[in-house]
Structure 1
Amino acid sequence: MWRDADFRRLWTGQSASQLGEHTGMVVLPLLALLALDATAGQLGALRAVGQAPIALLSLLVGAWVDRWRTRTTMLLADVGRTVALGVAAAACLLGLLGLPALFALAFVVGTLSVFFDVAYQASLVRLVRRDRLILGNSALEGSRSAAQIGGPALGGALVSLLPAPVAVACGALLFALSSLSIRRIRRIESVPEQSERPPRVWRRIHEGLRFVAGDAVLRAVCLASAAFQLSFAATATVHLLFLSRQLHLSGTAVGLVLAAAGPGALLGSLLAARLPRRFGHGTVLVGAAALGDGVFLCVPALHGSSGKTIAVLLAVGFVFGAGGQLVSVTVMAVRQAVTPDGLQGRVAATITFVGMGLTPIGSLLGGLLAQEWGLRAGLLVAASGMLLSPVVMALSPLARLGRTLPAAHGTPGSPA
């Protein structure tokens, strides 16, 4: 795997892109909280605006990606995010980056991130053999784990220690580095054959939706993802407020606590290359989801900013990261295995649309829970909701998956 130069370039570019994305996920909300004194409702709205492109554009992007070269899509997305954050840094330097501008920035970056994320999920299938999908996904998700380690800590430190324009500009630099690496991919992709008169985009979207709806495994992935993403978006919003305003942690401490999921996710990526083949994909999915999601219920019981509190938060983040990453890698490999090449982008986008498309609602819900019920009660309710995901998995065909990946189901354009 690592002897393949193009795979290394994809891995490097994706790593830099994920680091920029995870840094921005902390920088923008902390700027809103610490520099612009945003309320709980405004913070929830900011997160919702950044996540809205997932619901609005995922299906369209999936249809386009199946007809484009993923290298070109990822490259343009990186360049666009570099420019957007560069302009934002200049606006911040001139004192023009208020909440409205921050909302616009979050939407633009979120839109371009949809293009990058759908494209990189489809790119692996075009670069490696199907029997190496688990290893490839493990390596790519491992890089995302590294970004989860460095991104939140870097974001918290940037906001706490450096001027706001520099904090924003760092994200632009990371996306620029990603574009340079993606640009060096040389392999000509095996883009699925296209007819002289390709079907209209809405018909292509419908083919992806029909394929997912007609496959029991993919339907279960959609439902479990939707349950998790809705609840996690609410939890993440209240969690950030809980750390800064209930436990009174500094920006740097918040970044370190959020970064704790990174080492756990790195462990989860490593385990994903071994555990499914030993215990079965279904057993690993249900067990890892139950452990990773359930551990968050410990957080609302914490008080103060003592070393003991921070230690518990770090442990919770580590377990959550390990379980979540183990689920993510395993689910992605299952999805890629059961999907024909010509539908990879649309299936990825459909699942993203159904699952991640609910995150704006979840973020708004989190802000509402924090505002109306208080931070502690709101966090408890939101975290409890995440347990719906392993329940859905346990009651679905996912729980019965064995030690080997299932074969591709149907053909492009057929539901099964």
Structure 2
Amino acid sequence: MQPSNVRGKPRTGGGLRRSPDFLRLWAAQSISETGTQVGQLAVPLLAIGALHASPAALGFLAGARTLPFLVLSLPAGAILDRMRRRPVLIVADLCRAALLGSVPAAYALGVLSFLQLYAVAVLAGVFTVCFDVSYQSYLPALVRREHLTEANTKLTITGSAAEMVGPGAAGVLAGVIGAAATVLLDAVSFLVSGLLCRAIRHTEPRPDAGGGRAARSLRREVGEGLAFVVRDPKLSRIAACASLVNLASSMFTVLLTLYMVRTLGYPSALVGLVFALCGVGFVLGALSVGPVIRRLGYGRTITAGALVSAAGLVVLPATSPAMSLPFLAVGQLVFGFGVPLFNVAQVTLRQSVTPSRLQARMNASMRFLIWGTLALGGPAGGFLAEVAGTRPAMVVAAVIGCLPLAPLVWSPVPALRTLPPHPSAD
């Protein structure tokens, strides 16, 4: 852990309200998350409306956005453990702003193509990997250990609020000003986030000032971070569970968009509203996570979150054209409620059990295992929709989301009520 007198870290009582640097990071994350949620619906709507995307093309577009998590997370963690995190946050935000800003510019000039959308999705995903690994690794240095749960809860609440507001706003904005102009708002949000990150005053020590790691093999450091996660019985089960749930949810992101637009004939605003209901569940779950952890402990909260999320996925395929909206609404709400219960507890747990020198590599390894499946879910969902139909593909996705529940329940995770002692640097 960093010394308690590092500038920007709360020194006295009052919790995170007395940490202006955390508040800046929180504001930056809130704005960029909202913009991201707007863009994640606006870009597919633009592809469907302007480029007449097929299910397979839409699936590959979703996969392109998350492909970097599968390919780059592990080396990114090793590299970022050698760097200060704040400059990475700034550069990642500014680059994403420029990339997404190119989409409405190309649309206005009449030269927008799938090739550009794929390229923007992949490159923006690269910088998202850098940003996400950096800010989760930066957080334990920015706030005290006893405030980690509070910090992760606040970040999750605003991320959940973004899930609630973003899709609905994207649907409305796409109907009023067009999908291309809506993507432009996403670009502006990253610009604002980057400026807020630049305003953080926390002084980071130079990693490995003694020079001991400079000569070490990058492959060895990547292997050290991945081995830390895989060998820990709690982290490995959490990663396995989250990876399959993410695979299922990424399939549903493509399948639900196709089902609502092409089978049910929903307008853009109603599509956004359905996705926003998942955000409502996120907010309710995030607001409940503190009391739930105090009552159940960390391990049972993680397990309960996984069970509730899987239940929401099971409800979604039960919809039919004649009775679609209630099932979609309930499924999205229930799934959304379970996600923050799982996420806040497991992120706090893994930050607490990991030595400071391994934080970025641990987070990158978890991202690789958990988020790498997102790159597979979109193409898999689109392919299954073309081969078997949209609703059968939704059933397959729901089954995948339920597969990891038994291994998680029969693991050391549910028995963990409090956070273990923080490990030494070695």
Kindly indicate whether residue 175 of structure 2 is the aligned counterpart of residue 160 of structure 1: yes
Quickly say closer, same or farther: Cα 1:284–1:30, change in 2 above 3 A: same
Matches for 1:78-93 after TM superposition, within 5 Å: 78-93=93-108
Kindly indicate whether residue 81 of structure 2 is the aligned counterpart of residue 101 of structure 1: no
Aligned length: 409
Q: Which residue number in structure 1 is paired with residue 67 of structure 2?
A: 52
By how many angstroms is 1:392 displaced?
2.6
> What is the CA deviation profile of residues 146-186 of structure 1, one whole-angstrom value per residue up to 9, with x for unaligned ones?
11112111222232221343122111111111111111101
Q: Which residue number in structure 1 is paired with residue 231 of structure 2?
A: 214
Residue among 113, 130, 134 paired with 2:149: 134
Residue among 292, 299, 309 paired with 2:309: 292
Instruction: Provide the rounded CA distance (Å) in 2 between the counterparts of 1:168 and 1:311.
Output: 29
Instruction: Provide the rounded CA distance (Å) in 2 between the counterparts of 1:309 and 1:381.
Output: 18
Kindly indicate whether residue 260 of structure 2 is the aligned counterpart of residue 243 of structure 1: yes
Kindly indicate whether residue 269 of structure 2 is the aligned counterpart of residue 230 of structure 1: no
Q: What secondary structure is seen at the aligned counterpart in 2 of 1:97? A: coil
Which stretch shifts more, 295-304 or 120-129?
295-304
AA at the equivalent of 2:422:
A
Which stretch shifts more, 283-292 or 42-51?
283-292
Q: Which residue number in structure 2 is paired with residue 23 of structure 1?
A: 38
AA at the equivalent of 2:193:
S
Which stretch shifts more, 153-162 or 111-120?
153-162
Q: Which residue number in structure 1 is paired with residue 419 of structure 2?
A: 405
* TM-score, L = length of structure 1: 0.94
Instruction: Provide the rounded CA distance (Å) in 2 between the counterparts of 1:395 and 1:246.
Output: 40
Retained in 1: the 8 A contact 2:43–2:179?
A: no
AA at the equivalent of 2:421:
A
Retained in 1: the 8 A contact 2:69–2:126?
A: yes
Instruction: Provide the rounded CA distance (Å) in 2 between the counterparts of 1:400 and 1:316.
Output: 29
Kindly indicate whether residue 272 of structure 2 is the aligned counterpart of residue 258 of structure 1: no
Retained in 1: the 8 A contact 2:42–2:180?
A: no
AA at the equivalent of 2:351:
Q
> What is the CA deviation profile of residues 286-329 of structure 1, one whole-angstrom value per residue up to 9, with x for unaligned ones?
22211222122222222337xx6434422322221110111011
AA at the equivalent of 1:81:
R
Structure 2 stretches lacking a partner, 5+ long: 1-15
Q: What secondary structure is seen at the aligned counterpart in 2 of 1:93? A: helix
By how many angstroms is 1:39 displaced?
0.7
Matches for 1:352-367 after TM superposition, within 5 Å: 352-367=367-382
Residue among 280, 285, 309 paired with 1:268: 285
CA RMSD of superposed structures (Å)? 1.7
Retained in 2: the 8 A contact 1:126–1:191?
A: no
Instruction: Provide the rounded CA distance (Å) in 1 between the counterparts of 2:255 and 2:130.
Output: 28
AA at the equivalent of 1:261:
C
Instruction: Provide the rounded CA distance (Å) in 2 between the counterparts of 1:191 and 1:310.
Output: 53
AA at the equivalent of 2:287:
L
Structure 1 stretches lacking a partner, 5+ long: none
Residue among 14, 33, 51 paired with 1:36: 51
Q: What secondary structure is seen at the aligned counterpart in 2 of 1:125? A: helix
Which stretch shifts more, 119-128 or 309-318?
309-318
Matches for 1:62-81 after TM superposition, within 5 Å: 62-81=77-96
Residue among 268, 283, 288 paired with 2:300: 283
Q: What secondary structure is seen at the aligned counterpart in 1 of 2:321? A: coil
Q: Which residue number in structure 1 is paired with residue 345 of structure 2?
A: 330
By how many angstroms is 1:357 displaced?
1.0
Q: Percent identity?
A: 34
By how many angstroms is 1:410 displaced?
6.3
By how many angstroms is 1:44 displaced?
0.8
Instruction: Provide the rounded CA distance (Å) in 1 between the counterparts of 2:77 and 2:59.
Output: 27
Instruction: Provide the rounded CA distance (Å) in 1 between the counterparts of 2:210 and 2:220.
Output: 14
Instruction: Provide the rounded CA distance (Å) in 2 between the counterparts of 1:363 and 1:151.
Output: 20
By how many angstroms is 1:245 displaced?
1.7
Retained in 2: the 8 A contact 1:248–1:304?
A: no
Quickly say closer, same or farther: Cα 1:191–1:326, change in 2 above 3 A: farther
Which stretch shifts more, 31-40 or 288-297?
288-297
Q: Which residue number in structure 1 is paired with residue 166 of structure 2?
A: 151
> What is the CA deviation profile of residues 172-227 of structure 1, one whole-angstrom value per residue up to 9, with x for unaligned ones?
11111111111110111245434325223222212111211221111112211222
Instruction: Provide the rounded CA distance (Å) in 2 between the counterparts of 1:80 and 1:102.
Output: 15
Q: What secondary structure is seen at the aligned counterpart in 2 of 1:185? A: coil
Q: What secondary structure is seen at the aligned counterpart in 2 of 1:187? A: coil
Instruction: Provide the rounded CA distance (Å) in 2 between the counterparts of 1:411 and 1:216.
Output: 20
Retained in 2: the 8 A contact 1:47–1:363?
A: yes
